[in-house]
Structure 1
Amino acid sequence: MTVIADLPSSAPPSSDVETAAAADAGAAFVLESKGTWWHAGFHMTTATVGPALLTLPYALRGLGWRLGVAALTALAAVTFYCYLLVSRVLDRCEAAGRRHIRFRELAADVLGSQWASYLVLVVQTAINAGVTIGSILLAADCLQIIYLHAAPHGHLKLYHFVIVVAVVVALLSQMPSLHSLRYINLGSLVVSVGYTTLVSAACICAGSSSKAPTKDYSLSPSNSARTFNAFLSISILASVFGNSILPEIQATLAPPASGKMAKALVLCYSVLSLTFYFPAITGYWAFGNQVRSNVLKSLMPDTGPWLAPEWLLILAAVLVLLQLIAIALVYSQVAYEIIETKSADVARGRFSRRNLAPRVALRTAYVAGCALAAAMLPFFGEIIAVVGAVGYIPLDVVIPVVMYNMAPRGGGGRRSQAAYAANVAIMVVFVGLGVIGAVASVRKLAINADRFKLFSNGIS
């Protein structure tokens, strides 16, 4: 693409950069740079392809067939492009002897303001904590589904399963670095393909059965409701494609990292193309505008028999549960990096008593805090569209195109005016979509507010 043709070739980071990184416990311990491009691809896939994709049929419900599929494809293209821009900006900085391993540091360097670092830190931390909370909650929900299937009259509540999931996440969180999760994330990639295949098959079974609801793909007759639903759907799509930790993932690549992340992105979006379209299309086809915000809930109605073979849906729930644990681990890494930068002594060994004790205590405390929020807010999954509008759209679309336009060209390369104009257009469009989508998302929450109860056994 002409937009990236003027990038200089990379060079290994300077010794000064390596020395600075070595003095930083967060960089040395949590974001160690030992990975290959396919390891980064595993991390990217886990961070991007998650059970949030089960909301895609609901997103199509607000847009209809043609506009929905077009919006899904457009968001895939735009996010791939923006992630590629972030990677290219990181490559430029590395070629200039400044290898950045944190999103906030990259923003401060390129945008020339420490306030940019604070803004990215706040938004990124909010997103990452939110994803961790949501992952624990949804994993507990999957456990509850499995439990109630085995023991229909069981007395365990949702918060019991939150505790179980939190214990597992806390134990696995003691793995010291993002790189050490590479095989867990490979497993996450495999199970994502597995459960999306199962859910798609279940939707086909449900849509073909006599028990399926009448298929109605019409949009709301009210112009205002139709408009709000469309922007809500776009916010959901932005959340589904969201990935707030690309610079931290690129940091795990062994230097020089230049060019490797593009391969990782191709791997990620190859998996994404398999896992997003099938459940989105089959789920919307099976249930039409009656589809619920999570298509699994449509397949497992609260009353009446399940609409697909029980073994298939339980297996899908198990695979979703496994991936949610991996997602919680990946999105906790930025918090762990911040914690270890402040608490660990890089001069001591990673597993020395001096560093191990605070790591275990602080990481466990972080997971416990997220679990408490999940138990207290069992409706947390309902705010995914708000997260997409106010978090993912700025961090994943707006800031990348602004950084690319502002980043200095290396090697005397000239700025492409067409690319610059395209980036400005993307920024303007998505700022508008983000603002309107946030309003639509908050409106949806307000409408459903009476269903939300603290520490309840789910949404009432």
Structure 2
Amino acid sequence: MNMEYVKLPSGKIEDILHENGIGGEGREERLDSSNGGDNNRQSGDSDGDGGAAFVLVSKGTWWHAGFHLTTAIVGPSILTLPYAFSCMGWTVGLLSLSMAGAVSFYSYYLMSRVLDNCEKNGRRHIRFRELASDILGSGYMFYLVVSVQTTINMGVSIGSILLGAECLEVMYSDLDPTGNLNLHHFIIIVAIVMILLSQLPSFHSLRYINSASLFLSLGYSFCIAIACIIAGYSSEAQSKDYSLTGSRIIRVFNGFKAVSIMGTTFGNGILPEIQATLAPPATGKMLKGLCMCYGVVVVTFYSVAVSGYWAFGNNVRDNILENLMPDDEGVALVPTWLLVIAVIFILLQLFAIALVYCQVAYEILEKKSADVKMGVFSLRNLLPRLVLRSLYIIICAFVAAMLPFFGDINALVGAIGFIPLDFILPMLLYNISFRPAHSSMIFSVNNLIMIIFTFVGIMGTISSVRQIVVDAKLFKLFSTTVI
């Protein structure tokens, strides 16, 4: 996600100066007054909490939250949805996708309600781990959530770097089939760009990048959908077969794997941190942001899933782009330029996605390393930020180069991470916070969702482990081919 495509509106200069610690003392007082004196809502601001003061600074509007949510949810993982449909068929696939979308929206809405309720009672939480620990009252829960969340965020960052490098490699191999550059070189290139972009100090400072990310996701989704329609009507296209393949047990495993894919695709895992970027009071703002996000979700998810499965049936691969690329004999079903545009859009959005999911790691790193008494761009805070964030990206890039078969591992991470955090824990937190009557509909619905997705998470984990075992013979450390 190259910074060159992000243009800052001139009307925001005062905000930028203020964010960089340049002037604005009087403006700070006005903001504090307009926020009901809640401008220092994070207790860490006065306790040396650099993560709260710098990374999770609260200045955003509901549409900024919508940009962040869209970037966190709508990504290239939607290219796996046609494959998920091939494991289920039309009816179950459409029903499962709709149910996953409805449940995830409901879950995020409940999470927002819980955060609003805590804020109303004088405890505004800006971190998932602190919210869970406060409501569940367990020190173990704090460490459990931070471990799962960190694993998810690092997994998404590694996957984004690997997929970004693969996008560059695809374009390079098309321009120079005999070139000497391989996957590792492109991982280094992506990591360097990520290091540069990672110096943006706060989550809120990503709002322009994430607004562009929203339009990029719409762009490549439309390109893929159009390409699938062209391929489906091509005279070179294979005959379409929508029947489920494999034995009964294989179909069962594939079905749960598909549900796990859908759950992971709708995954977020950082909603409290996104809500933390809202200028207080945040009450009601996240619902507007969620509506914006899910408007994009409906357009992108269904267009890619339906068109991809319609075009290729049960011959669809786990990434629809693989079906659309020219085959070994050079036969292409769709214009190359259309795929090039889609790949470029995907590459650019991957930078935004990685930046969003890196914020939790950066917040943890700067919680103690930053000095809140100094300016955000003071040398005292600039050097630790540069070193720690660069080191984090280098570690992610190294793992991406070492494990170019990360897709199977990421599926496992999604099953044991995204599903508990996004489909189970929010319902539990809501039931404990609001204590709905046991005879009420909402209590029954929440418990039913928790039971169903606990089972789905367990089966998704088993299916993911099984897939890792099946593919293990293909794994090779530091391979230059992505599996």
TM-score of the superposed pair, with normalisation by structure 1: 0.94
AA paired with 2:357?
Answer: Y
| CA–CA distance in structure 2, aligned partners of residues 222 and 366 of structure 1 | 44
Give the deviation of 1:388 after TM superposition: 2.3
The equivalences for 1:215-364 within 5 A come to 215-304=240-329, 305-364=331-390
Instruction: Report the alpha carbon displacement of residue 381 of structure 1 after superposing the two structures with TM.
Output: 2.0
Shift of 1:15: 8.2
Q: Residues 236-258 of structure 1, C-alpha deviation per residue, up to 9 Å, x if partnerless?
A: 00110000100000000000001
Instruction: Give 1:403-442 correspondences, 5 Å limit.
Output: 403-408=429-434, 417-442=440-465
Change (3 A) 1:340 1:280: same
Greater shift in the superposed pair: 22-31 or 429-438: 22-31
Question: Counterpart of 1:455 in 2: which secondary structure?
Answer: coil
Post-superposition offset of 1:384: 3.4
Contact conserved, 2:55 with 2:202, CA < 8 A, in 1? yes
SS of 1:332's equivalent in the other structure is: helix
Q: Could you tell me which residue of structure 2 aligns to residue 78 of structure 1?
A: 103
Distance of aligned partners of 1:414 and 1:445 in 2 relative to their CA distance in 1, 3 Å threshold: closer
Name the CA distance, whole Å, in 2 between partners of 1:368 and 1:195.
28
The Cα of 1:148 is off from its aligned counterpart by: 0.8
Is 2:120 aligned against 1:95? Answer: yes
* Shift in CA distance, 13/123, structure 1 to aligned 2, threshold 3 Å: farther
Q: Using the TM superposition, give the Cα deviation of residue 453 of structure 1 relative to its aligned residue in structure 2, in angstroms.
A: 1.2
TM-score normalised to structure 2 length: 0.90
Q: Which amino acid aligns with 2:471?
A: N
Note the C-alpha offset of 1:153: 1.4
Deviation at 1:306, TM superposition (A): 2.5
State the alpha-carbon separation in 1 of the partners of residues 482 and 386 from structure 2: 33
8 Å CA contact 2:438, 2:444 repeated in 1? no
Give ranges in structure 2 of 5+ residues lacking alignment.
Answer: 1-34
Which amino acid is 2:447 matched to? Answer: V
- Equivalent residues in 2 for 1:142-181 (5 A)? 142-181=167-206
1:384 maps to what in 2?
410
Amino acid at match of 1:425: L
Residues 1:116 and 2:146 aligned together? no
On the 8 A contact 1:12/1:95 being kept in 2, the answer is no
Name the counterpart of 1:371.
397
Partners of 2:304 and 2:437 in 1: how far apart? 43
> Cα–Cα, structure 1 residues 454 and 421, in superposed 2: closer, same or farther, change >3 Å?
same
For the structure 1 residues 122 and 203, does the alpha-carbon distance in structure 2 shift closer, same or farther, using more than 3 Å as the test? Answer: same
2:216 to 191, 202, 211: 191
Cα-Cα RMSD: 1.6
* Partner residue, 2:52: 27
Distance 2:441 2:91 in 1: 29
Compared with structure 1, are the counterparts of its residues 12 and 92 closer, same or farther at alpha carbon in structure 2 (3 Å cutoff)? farther
SS in 2 for 1:212: coil
In the TM superposition, residue 368 of structure 1 has moved relative to its aligned partner by 0.4
Taking the aligned partners of 1:154 and 1:126, their CA distance within structure 2 comes to 35
Partner residue, 1:8 = none
**Structure 1 unaligned blocks of 5 or more:** 1-10
Q: Aligned to 2:140, what secondary structure does the other structure show?
A: helix
Moved >3 Å (runs of 4+): 11-23, 413-416
Read off the aligned partner of 1:446 and give its amino acid letter.
V
Aligned residues: percent identity? 56
Asked if the contact 1:13/1:256 (under 8 Å) is kept, the reply is: no
Where 2:480 maps in the other structure, the secondary structure is coil
User: What residue in structure 2 maps to residue 4 of structure 1?
Assistant: none
**Paired residues, what number?**
447
Please list the CA deviations of residues 79-132 of structure 1 after superposition, one character each: whole Å capped at 9, or x if unmatched.
000000110000000000000000000000111111111111000000000000
CA distance, structure 1, for counterparts of residue 39 and residue 176 of structure 2: 61
Question: Quick check: 1:13–1:95 contact (8 Å CA) kept in 2?
Answer: no
In the superposition, relative to structure 1, how do residues 454 and 415 fare at CA in structure 2: closer, same or farther (>3 Å)? same
Secondary structure of the corresponding residue to residue 241 of structure 2: coil
Letter in 2 for 1:244: G
Note the alpha carbon deviations across 1:342-382, whole angstroms, 9 max, x for none: 21111111111111001000000000000001111111123
> Any idea what SS the aligned residue of 1:56 has?
helix
Q: Distance in 2 between matches of 1:297 and 1:204?
A: 15
Say which is worse superposed, 434-443 or 31-40, in terms of deviation: 434-443
d(CA) in 1 for partners of 2:285, 2:356:
20
Contact 2:129 2:141 in 1 (8 A): yes
Alpha-carbon shift at residue 22 of structure 1 (Å)? 4.3
Q: SS state of the match for residue 417, structure 2?
A: helix
Cα distance in structure 2, aligned partners of 1:322 and 1:382: 23
Q: Which amino acid aligns with 2:158?
A: I
* In 1, Cα distance between equivalents of 2:123 and 2:409: 37
Q: 1:13 deviation in Å? A: 7.8
Deviations 1:205-233 (CA, angstroms, capped at 9, x unpaired)? 11111221221111124110010000000
Name the structure 2 match of 1:7.
none
Match of 1:448 in 2: 471
Question: 1:387 deviation in Å?
Answer: 2.2
Distance 2:236 2:413 in 1: 35
The answer to whether the Cα contact below 8 Å between 2:109 and 2:287 also exists between their aligned partners in 1 is yes
Greater shift in the superposed pair: 102-111 or 216-225? 216-225
* 1-structure distance, mates of 2:272, 2:37: 16
Query: Could you say if the C-alpha distance between residues 130 and 116 of structure 1 is closer, same or farther in structure 2, counting changes exceeding 3 Å?
Result: same
